[in-house]
Amino acid sequence: MNLPSEKFEIFVGFRKENAIDAKLLVGAAFKDSGNSYYKIRLMMFPGYTYYLVKNRDTPTRYTVYSRLISRGKDGKFLNPVGTALLDSKLQSYLEIKFPLLRAHMYMSLFPIIQT
């Protein structure tokens, strides 16, 4: 049985004050109903899935992992490859950073309506 999921677009661009200019779509994040994490798919790495997980100690910070080991309902995330920050000045986006790529990406906080 497939659970409903929400899709969020991921962009690169230039941050200008409280907005993103020159946006270029580079991927999407998916949040399945019942899951506490997002699955990230980037167009530049087809076939790979990353996992965006909210940190327990800080509600505005997230960690991006490259591996999930499933154990029934719960899973264990391994191999942190990036971080994300929910900045109050950038109200419509979550800023995702991949240090190895020296890349900043922005995930829309509003899901795309799928028909």
CB 94 within 8 A of CB 62: yes
Rounded distance between C-alpha atoms, residue 93 and residue 62, angstroms: 13
Rounded distance between C-alpha atoms, residue 93 and residue 15, angstroms: 11
Residue 18 Cα to chain centre, angstroms: 19
Amino acid (one-letter) located at 17: E
- Per-residue pLDDT tens over the stretch 80-108: 999 999 988 888 899 999 998 888 999 99
Residue 24: Cβ-neighbour burial (10 angstroms; 0-12, 13-18, 19+): exposed
According to the model, what pLDDT value does residue 77 have?
92
The pTM of this model reads 0.89
Rounded distance between C-alpha atoms, residue 96 and residue 78, angstroms: 18
CB 90 within 8 A of CB 18: yes
According to the model, what pLDDT value does residue 115 have?
47
Q: CB neighbours (10 Å) of residue 25?
A: 11
